[in-house]
Amino acid sequence: MKKINRRTAIRTATAGIAAAVTAPAHLYAAQKAGDEPLKGYVKHSVSYWCFGKYPLDEFAKTCRETGIQSVELLDPKDWPVVQKHGLTCAMAQGAGLGIDNGWNNPALHDRLVASYLEVIPLVAKAGLTNLICFSGKRNGLSDEQGWENCVKGLKRIIGTAEKHKVVLTMELLNSYGHKDYQCDHTAWGVELCKRTGSENFKLLYDIYHMQIMEGNIIDTLTKNIAYISHVHTGGNPGRNEIDETQELYYPAIMKALVKTGYKGFVGQEFVPKAADPIASLKRCIRICDVSPS
């Protein structure tokens, strides 16, 4: 076997590292927006709050032209605006008391129940499916207390959700940015789904948040897909574009998601850093536009 001196070894290793670093950028470059139609294996959505500087009517029109099928995290008054452009709202909001004040606090249950019982029928009437909800801050609760409290409250509305075919969807968030939030790990959320015991209660798996909390994105998605009704994107660090500027390779994640048979939406929820947010959105849609093979 030919001997390799230290200088040659370092030169070879450096070249290999450079190739490894630059390869993803080349692969992403191939994903830039073009005129070709989307593949259709991923149902595309986008969170409006990230693009709120654009009037909703104008933004919905742009989304439709881009091949995006949904603008999400909208209140009931805004649903007709996107629907007139042939879009849906893949994740509705408008019920509850916000991220910090959720179902793990029994003192809030009466107010939460009243709010969700009012909005659930509106979601169904609008032809929508998913309605977001939150665990709330931990505030010293153990995991067990959090599960028990959430189940106790959710059981009061789950029958109505089942009747109207609405899926109550609890978002998984990181508990650093959303300090002390309880539903901050997939395992915690999955256990709550099991205890609630209804197909009408599932999870919003936010890739950005779960990369911060636990990583192992593809394996976790694959093993827990039965408990997930919606997926969010976002580049980490910074929650910006999902391109080569961040640490995850989204084409591989999306391909794994498609292979699970997932039929829900993928919502782009990144805060655009580029000078042209719409061009950036179009590129990120293309990054996620994969086929299973």
pLDDT at 36: 85
pLDDT at 34: 54
**pLDDT above 60 for 267:** yes
**pLDDT above 50 for 89:** yes
For tokens 């931990």, the residue is 138
Of 202, 206, 204, 226, which is closest to residue 214 (Cα–Cα)? 206
30 vs 46, higher pLDDT: 46
Read off the pLDDT of each residue in 80-91 and give the average, rounded to a whole number. 98
**pLDDT above 90 for 81:** yes
Neighbour tally for 117: CB within 10 Å: 14
Confidence of residue 293 (pLDDT cuts 50, 70, 90): confident
Confidence of residue 1 (pLDDT cuts 50, 70, 90): very low
Percent of the chain with pLDDT over 90: 87
Amino acid at 116: Y
Predicted confidence (pLDDT) per residue in 152-177, tens digit: 999 999 999 999 999 999 999 999 99
Give, as one character, the DSSP assignment of residue 17.
H
Read off the pLDDT of each residue in 207-216 and give the average, rounded to a whole number. 98
What's the per-residue H, E or C state across 33-46?
CCCCCCCCCCEEEE
Per DSSP, which regions of the chain are E strands? 43-47, 70-72, 130-133, 167-171, 201-206, 228-232, 265-268
Predicted confidence (pLDDT) per residue in 201-211, tens digit: 999 999 999 99
Q: What residue ranges define each of the domains in the chain, with the CATH number in brackets?
A: 6-288 (3.20.20.150)
Q: Look at the alpha carbons of 155, 104, 190, 222 in this order and tell me if their dihedral is positive or negative.
A: positive
The tokens for 117 are 């019982």
Amino acid at 74: L
Strand 228-232's sheet: what is its strand order? Answer: 70-72, 43-47, 265-268, 228-232, 201-206, 167-171, 130-133
> How many whole angstroms separate alpha carbon 167 and alpha carbon 80?
20
Cβ proximity of 269 and 208 under 8 Å: yes
> In the predicted model, what is the mean pLDDT of the chain?
91
**Segment holding 254, helix H or strand E:** helix 250-259
| Cβ-based neighbours of 228, under 8 Å, separated by 6 or more | 202, 203, 204, 205, 221, 262, 264
Burial class (CB in 10 A: 0-12, 13-18, 19+), 46: buried
Kindly calculate the radius of gyration of the chain based on its CA atoms and give it in whole angstroms. 21
